[in-house]
Every structure is written in C-alpha cells, then in structure tokens.
Chains A and B, each alone.
Chain A
C-alpha cells in the first residue's frame, strides 16, 4: 500500500459516484450517457489503482487486461445507447 495507490483509488471512487449521480439525473440522453462513461472511467481507475505496485515495480497485468476490454465494451455500449436514442427521437418526430 502506498499513498498514491490510495489517492488514485479514492479518485476512482469519487468519479464513479459523480457519474452515477449524473446518470440518474433528469436531462438529455447524451448527458446521461456521458455521465455513465465518467462512472466507467472511475471503475477503471479503481481497478488500475488496485493493480499498481509503486513506481519501481511492475503492476498486475490481469486488471490491465480487464480494463482494456472494458474500454472497448464501453464504447460499443455508448454507440448502441446513442443509436437507440436517435431511433426513438426520429420515431417521435414522425408522429
């Protein structure tokens, strides 16, 4: 355990909670999707902080691989959410 591991881990927790609040707050779909992305970034930061072993040692590669796949999945989920939103909006415009 080191000060920087704690510091970055707690930042991850803070980002997650800020994002979670934003995701449930009423507003445009885009804002909420953006907030979910920030919450996701918080989770990634927490995982990488857990993997961190200080500046002199090699970090744990397993959480790194998880975050790498997480980033790509987050992008595709974002794209799907925005496409669904656009579809619903064009539907309601037509009516």
Chain B
C-alpha cells in the first residue's frame, strides 16, 4: 500500500501542475511569459509520458513539443504585437466557456464508459504476436515503419506540404546578432554531441525508445542552437541540396514501396529477411528530411534568404528580443 500511495502523490502533483501550467499559459498577460509557461508545460508532459510508460513519446515531446515548438513560439512572440484584451467578458465568451465545459463532461463520460467495457480484441495483441516479422523489436517502431508504414509515409508528405507552405510565404526570419562567448563555446561543444546522440537514437529505434522522429528533432535542435549563435541558416545547405534534403524522406519511402511492388509484393510489404535494413534506410532518409523540414519551419522560410533580410523591420524587432533571450 505504501508504494501505491507515493505513485498517487506523483500522479496528483503531475496532473495539478499540468492543468495549472496550461491555464496560466493561456491566461498570461505577456506573450513571452505565456510561451515560457507553455515550454514548462511541455517538459512536464514529457515526464507524464514516462509515467504512462511511453518513453518514445517522452523523447519526441521533450525535443519537439517543449523544445522546437517553444523556440518557434518564442521567436514569433517577438514579432507579434499583442492587442490588449478588453478585460470585459462578452456574452460570446460565456457561451464559449459553457459549451467547452459541457463538451468536456460529455467526452469524459464517453471515455470512462469506454475504458470500463471489457474488450476482447485489441490491436496490441496482434502487434506483439507479429513483431518478430517486422525486422525491428521496438513495437512502436514496428507499428510506425511496418504495420502502418502507409500512415508514416503520408505523414512525411504532410510535413513536406506544410514546409512548402512556409517557404512559399516569403523569406526566412532574419538571423540574430553575435552571441556572447559562453553561448558560442557551449554551442561548439554541444552541436557535435547532439549530432552523435541523434545518430544513436536513429540506430536505437529498432530495439529501444528512439527512431527517425526523435533523431530528426534532435538534429533540428542542433540547427536551432547554431542559428542562435550566429549561423543564420542554422547549418542548412543552400538551394539544391536543401531541396533534396526536404524531399529525401518521402522519395526514399516511395522508392522502397514501389520497388517492392515491382518485386511482386504489396506496396510497402517488406519481406521478413530484408525488413530491418529497408526500415533503417527509410528511417535514415526520414531523419535527415525531418531535421531539414523542422529547421526550415523554425527559420520560417528559405534558409538562402535569411541573411539578406537584415535591414528589415522584422530583424530589428527580433534583434531586440535576442537580448531578452540571452538574459533567460
């Protein structure tokens, strides 16, 4: 009973902190404060994933949910003027609150009623029974790259389309000024280490928590660090190489799927003996693509134009906030 109680205390602490941070992040007066609270929310959420036995998601959340989204929102907070809220709560606001609270009650009731049903068949049993045939032993990776490879291919296509949208909207946000010596030194020491860890996560994904998403996100984080320390394009290559990188994931995925069809197998139906190597090939290309796409999304445009934008209004605004970022 003793052990159970300490778990319950952890649960209550985590849940109340999550709810409080989410609420204060949305209610905060200052935009930058809202984003800082959101980053804290993301980190606690990563802890929650560990508590719920989802280490793969914890890695992705810490890198993307808290890290990259936080950096993106913080950069955006500096160039968005915040209209002062009127303080008066309108009738529409009251209706909105009541409707969303009502929706929460209905959803909560459906959830409790559903999990109480005794269910006979679950996909999980099928996954565990067939994981031997997928070429990897991490069940999450087996679902992502084998059982539901189609989903993951389309998801990479969604990423590609989103970043094409971002690229079409204009030049990248301008870079930041020269950093202090401590940050430069830190970046020089950290970036090679991050690249190494990213390679490890890619390799480990086959049998342990990790995989293309976590590895790609970490690689993109190295690019964000480079950008914050004066490398305007975050280490992304120019033009042709950049374009090749962002389509590499979808291209290799499709090439593998189509060659399997030529060999007389279903689309993305990996033969057992080859599955491991094919998945590693796809994941390697996906890692590079995901890193380039996430980083280009953070730069908010084509890396080529980032340097040309310096004189603009946006740059001065961004530059001013860099001071705040350094203080943090």
Contacts and interface: CB of A to CB of B under 8 A. Distances in A.
Most chain A CB within a 10 A radius of its CB, from B25, B26, B41, B139: B26
4 tightest CB-CB pairs across the interface, nearest first?
A: A79-B297, A17-B104, A76-B162, A61-B139
Q: SS class of chain B's interface: helix, strand, loop or mixed? A: helix
A7 B11 contact: yes
B148 A79 contact: no
Contacts of A13: 104, 107-108, 111
Interface in A45-79: 45-46, 48-52, 55, 58-62, 64-69, 71-79
A41 B45 contact: yes
Interface string A73-93: 111111110111111011001
Contacts of A34: 25-26, 34-35, 38, 73
Interface stretch (B78-86, B251-259, B319-327): B78-86
B224 to A, nearest CB: 12
Given A28-B80, A69-B144, 15 more contacts: A13-B107, A27-B85, A31-B31, A50-B111, A50-B114, A55-B53, A61-B139, A65-B148, A66-B151, A67-B57, A68-B140, A76-B159, A80-B166, A87-B169, A93-B313
A57 B127 CA distance: 15
Interface in B89-141: 93, 96-97, 100-101, 103-104, 107-108, 111-112, 114-116, 122-124, 127-128, 139-140
B279 to A, nearest CB: 13
Nearest to B151: A69
A61 B140 contact: yes
B69 A78 contact: yes
A20 B103 contact: yes
B62 to A, nearest CB: 10
Contacts of A27: 83, 85
Given A71-B57, A79-B297, A37 B38 contact: yes
B15 to A, nearest CB: 5
Contacts of A16: 104, 107
A72 B51 CA distance: 21
Interface in B47-80: 48-49, 52-54, 56-57, 60-61, 64-65, 68-69, 72-73, 76-77, 79-80
